Amino acid sequence: MSFLPDTPYTRYRLLDIGAYKVATWVYERIHFDDAPIDIAFFGTSHTMNGIDSVLVEQSLGNETTRVVNFAIPHFGRDMHYTLVKELLENRKPKLIVLEVREQEARDLHPGTHYLAQPEDLYGAPWVVNLRYFGNLIRLPLRTLKSTSYDSFPELFGFNADFSTVDYHGSHLNHALSWPDGKERTGVASEESLHSLNNLSLPTNWLGELKFYLFHNANLYYVEQISALAKKHNVPIAYAYIPSFGAPKTSLFAEKYPDNKWLYFDEEIFKQKLNWSDPGHLNRDGATALSIDAAHKLGSYLKSD
């Protein structure tokens, strides 16, 4: 059942949960929109709420460079790998920008089993992948459901064709305003913002073992993303978008493959008025970050 034929577009559309719905737009932007994809951001809600692709484009001052934000909430490098793979198998961007936080997560993404190809779920790392068996258990039902929607769309009130009426356009952003149009102007309380002083790397063999067990699965996918980008001859830039009070550089920087790093203006992250909560910038913070990202990317594109 896991290997029943289905269409990826249907799989992406069936991930219809909260903000994860953006996955449908990601697929449509890649496959059904002829507008170029030159710079593609991938990450979590830090990138979704921190980068406005329209503002980055405008601030680049280059009318021919097209930017998209393909971020989906929740951490999990398996999701990033799935989306990057979908992009590179169908498009040729000039640059992939992958979000990095102050530290890697232990868990993978709860939505990957909706989208990934069966062979990618079976071939996922299992040390220590808390979602490995859960993803495999869900796979047959997922495939049966998507195959049924493809084969008998009238039974489910499902239109398998792409609709330009429902398409959100070449940009879908959440950084400056919510999908309902309400501006993201809220400011985090003073009490909620504090420095993250408890972050540290292991200093002995036991710590190294725990480090490996906790983070192996996510770091495995970081390496897979890097290898995939090299295969398609597309460069990667790691964009450090931390929580409030995080160190100046990622704790995990030395664990990443050798690619370009983008460190943004520290003052953006220090200003408490730029945060809607300890993990997410508000409209003012996102505006500053998007403009600074354009400056950093402009310098990178010129030098590369």
What residue segments make up the domains of the chain, in order of their start? 8-303
Q: Give strand pairing partners of 245.
A: none
Query: In this structure, what are the phi and psi dihedrals at residue 214, rounded to the nearest 5 degrees?
Result: -75, -35
Low-confidence ranges of the chain (pLDDT < 50): none
Cα(121)–Cα(110) distance, integer angstroms: 13
Cα(278)–Cα(145) distance, integer angstroms: 38
Q: What is the pLDDT of residue 62?
A: 82
Q: Tell which residue, 257, 258, 264, 222, has the closest CA to residue 242.
A: 264
Q: What is the secondary structure of 47-59 as a DSSP string?
A: HHTT--HHHHHHH
Contact of 246 with 269, CB cutoff 8 Å: yes
CA atoms within 13 A on the CB side of 233: 1
| pLDDT tens digits, 118-157 | 999 999 998 889 999 999 999 999 999 999 999 999 999 9
Task: Report angle CA 102, 43, 108 to the nearest 5 degrees.
Answer: 80
Q: What is the pLDDT of residue 304?
A: 66
Q: Quick check: helix, strand or coil at residue 67?
A: strand
Contact of 143 with 4, CB cutoff 8 Å: yes
Residue entry with tokens 């192996």: 216
